[in-house]
Amino acid sequence: MTIPSRVFSGVQPTGNLHLGNYLGAIQRFVALQDEHDCLYCVVDLHAITVWQEPAELRHNIREVTAAFLAAGIDPKKHIVFNQSQVAGHSELAWIFNCVARMGWLNRMTQFKEKAGKNRENASVGLFAYPNLMAADILLYRATHVPVGEDQKQHLELSRDIAQKFNNDFAASIAENGFGEMFFPLPEPLIAGPATRVMSLRDGKAKMSKSDPSDLSRINLTDDADTIAQKIRKARTDPDPLPAVSDGLEGRPEAANLAGIYAALAGTDVPGVLAEFGGSQFSDFKKALTDLAVEKLAPINAEMRRYLADPAEIDRILADGADRASVLAEETMGAVKDIIGLIRH
Ligand code: AQP
């Protein structure tokens, strides 16, 4: 039995949605929708692995949804929903808790970074987070997952879980008519010049929602003046931009700004350097500001328009959840049969 190609990805509603989330993920979600069936999910159950203020969480779920829609995701052709409205995510995550091995999760670098020194006080959910992510993807038997570079290790774990499930239950999978494998091994789609957008204050640190400095990131809610100010203050070195990519070696801030420009312009870093090689940063930053404002201002305006009507956002999420649930129930039924659980 062949498994049809399907795209799944998610974004956490943890506030401060930034340019890295947009270029590494959301912009690519939009590009994939012409060629694939896509499910784009606001992963609220992931968000609560660390404390979230209830009213803020509700707002942030709507804000990520608004960003999806404002960026150009079509909720009629594709499925846009929030994770907690489809019970299958939690249900399959539990099953994967019983498939994944402690040793696998112990190797996850993101848990180590996020738990910090006080690991004993981290939630069990934060530790098991990659199993829930595997469930998100495999609940829809998705084959392709567009993500930023930081999610590569989690994607590899999703593949390991799919593979182990397929191996452990090989006989039952065949008996139930699914051939040699039930779950596809999902492929990460990590490509383009902005798979890892760095902080504007430190070219060696990832641009991140949780960075205490707001100057480190461009938020999707920033207005034109704020974008201009943040780019003007972005850290750089004293040399002009090089003409070829080799010249970016050891210059992380220059490489970051060139990558951001390339991703916003829909070109690549060599193309940007061909145009701006030899320019001083003061000039390049002006061009980058104009481009960032040109690309982000319409998204910002559309987000505001959607957020002014939360009932409409909730309606879109409910419709998406209903359609996702149909697919999820089909998978969960098959998974229960394969495992040997009785269902009616
Ligand atoms: N800096 C980045 N560059 C490129 N892609 C990025 N992504 C995140 N940061 C960058 C991608 O955005 C998608 C959604 O991310 P998420 O919200 O689910 O979680 P995250 O990776 O934890 O986001 P942050 O901003 O880094 O949050 P904190 O500060 O909490 O760690 C994913 O595809 C991610 O790869």
Percentage of residues in the chain having pLDDT higher than 90:
97
Can you tell me the mean pLDDT for 235-246? Answer: 96
Region label for 311, one of left (φ > 0), alpha (ψ between -120 and 50) or beta (otherwise)? alpha
13 contacts 64 by C-beta, under 8 angstroms = yes
For ligand 1, the distance from its centroid to the CA atom of residue 148, given in whole angstroms, is 7
Residue 202 lies in a domain: no
Integer CA distances (angstroms), 166 to 42, 172, 179, 183, in order: 28, 9, 10, 7
141 and 49 inside one domain: yes
Residue 344 lies in a domain: no
Residue 206 lies in a domain: no
| Mean pLDDT of the residues in the chain | 96
Residue 203 lies in a domain: no
126 and 170 inside one domain: yes
| Mode of pairing for the β-strands spanning 187-189 and 144-146 | parallel
* The Cα angle at residue 303 between residues 299 and 305, in degrees rounded to 5: 120
Residue 208 lies in a domain: no
Tokens of 262: 């390339």
Best residue among 22, 30, 150, 256 to mutate for probing ligand 1, ranked by most atoms within 8 Å of CB: 150
pLDDT at 2: 61
Can you tell me the mean pLDDT for 306-329? Answer: 98
Tens digit of pLDDT for each residue in 162-182?
999 999 999 999 999 999 999
Rounded CA separation 48/199 (Å): 24
Strand ranges inside the chain, DSSP E: 6-11, 37-42, 79-82, 144-146, 187-189
Can you tell me the mean pLDDT for 221-236? Answer: 97
Rounded CA separation 202/287 (Å): 21
Which range marks the domain in which residue 282 is found? 214-305
Residue 11 lies in a domain: yes
161 and 221 inside one domain: no
Question: Which residues are within 8 A (CB) of 315 and not within 5 positions of it... i.e. 6 or more apart?
Answer: none
Residue 74 lies in a domain: yes
Tens digit of pLDDT for each residue in 62-78?
999 999 999 999 999 99
Ligand 1 and 14: CB distance under 6 A = yes
CATH code of the domain containing 258: 1.10.240.10
- Confidence band (pLDDT; 50, 70, 90) for 212? very high
321 and 220 inside one domain: no
> Is residue 134 pLDDT above 90, yes or no?
yes
317 and 261 inside one domain: no
- Confidence band (pLDDT; 50, 70, 90) for 344? confident
**What residues does 8 pair with on adjacent strands?**
39
Integer CA distances (angstroms), 137 to 83, 98, 132, 162, in order: 11, 17, 9, 10
301 and 315 inside one domain: no
Q: Per-residue b/e over 116-135, b at no fewer than 16 CB within 10 Å?
A: eeeeeebeeebbbbbbbbbb
Total domains, the chain: 2
- Closest to 149 in 3D by CA, of 20, 302, 60: 20
The closest residue, in CA terms, to atom 7 on ligand 1 is: 21
For ligand 1, the distance from its centroid to the CA atom of residue 64, given in whole angstroms, is 13
Can you tell me the mean pLDDT for 186-213? Answer: 96
Tokens of 344: 């009616």
126 contacts 50 by C-beta, under 8 angstroms = yes
55 and 163 inside one domain: yes
176 and 297 inside one domain: no
CATH code of the domain containing 150: 3.40.50.620
The closest residue, in CA terms, to atom 2 on ligand 1 is: 20
pLDDT at 117: 86
For ligand 1, the distance from its centroid to the CA atom of residue 134, given in whole angstroms, is 17
| Mode of pairing for the β-strands spanning 187-189 and 6-11 | unpaired
167 and 119 inside one domain: yes
> Is residue 142 pLDDT above 90, yes or no?
yes
For ligand 1, the distance from its centroid to the CA atom of residue 335, given in whole angstroms, is 30
33 and 128 inside one domain: yes
> Is residue 4 pLDDT above 90, yes or no?
no
Rounded CA separation 300/303 (Å): 5
Tokens of 10: 């998610």
139 and 276 inside one domain: no
How many CA atoms within 13 Å lie on the side-chain side of 164? 16
Q: Which positions are annotated as active-site residues?
A: 114, 206, 209
19 contacts 157 by C-beta, under 8 angstroms = no
Rounded CA separation 19/226 (Å): 13
> Is residue 138 pLDDT above 60, yes or no?
yes
104: DSSP letter: H
Residue 105 lies in a domain: yes
Best residue among 189, 209, 213, 220 to mutate for probing ligand 1, ranked by most atoms within 8 Å of CB: 209
170 and 233 inside one domain: no
Tens digit of pLDDT for each residue in 22-69?
999 999 999 999 999 999 999 999 999 999 999 999 999 999 999 999
- Confidence band (pLDDT; 50, 70, 90) for 1? low
> Is residue 3 pLDDT above 90, yes or no?
no
Rounded CA separation 107/111 (Å): 9
> Is residue 277 pLDDT above 80, yes or no?
yes
